[in-house]
Amino acid sequence: MKYDRIKKNTEFQKIFSNGKRGFAPRLTLLYLPSDGMKMGICVSKKHGNSVRRNRVKRLLREIFRLHAEELKENYCYVLLPRTAEVYEYHALEKDFLHILDRQKLRKNLKVREEKTDKKD
């Protein structure tokens, strides 16, 4: 699934002020209907030095990329990690999927089940 990145401050501010929020222990997801799928990540200096912040962004981008096909299109998504000592990929992924399920941002569940059946 192809998606665009949110880079402009005005786009971020629009999502922060008008978007809906989903919460999990290690992650917050903001989303807002739009004309195409877009993704942005906000990691503040509270998360550590630049090496640490960039690692968190890489983890979140990879999680989003792997699950982009499962997401409803025509939404802007902004990922906000919570500060932690250690950022683990599987924990962040679990929280991301938990938020998607609670906010009903995933596509039809039958499609997902068929994909898992093909692997077996």
Per-residue pLDDT tens for 71-103? Answer: 999 999 999 999 999 999 999 999 999 999 999
The answer to whether 20 touches 103, Cβ cutoff 8 Å, is yes
Residues of the chain with pLDDT under 70: 109-120
CATH code linked to domain 4-119: 3.30.230.10
| Residue labelled with tokens 């000592």 | 85
- Give a three-class secondary structure readout of the chain: CCCEECCCHHHHHHHHHHCEEEECCCEEEEEEECCCCEEEECCCHHHCCHHHHHHHHHHHHHHHHHHHHHECCCEEEEEEECCCCCCCHHHHHHHHHHHHHHHCCECCHHHHHHHHHHHC
Residue 41's CB: how many other CB atoms inside 10 A? 19
How far is residue 21's CA from residue 23's CA, in Å, rounded to a whole number?
A: 7
The pLDDT, as a whole number, for residue 108 is 74
The pLDDT, as a whole number, for residue 2 is 87
Q: What is the pTM of this model?
A: 0.85
The pLDDT, as a whole number, for residue 115 is 56
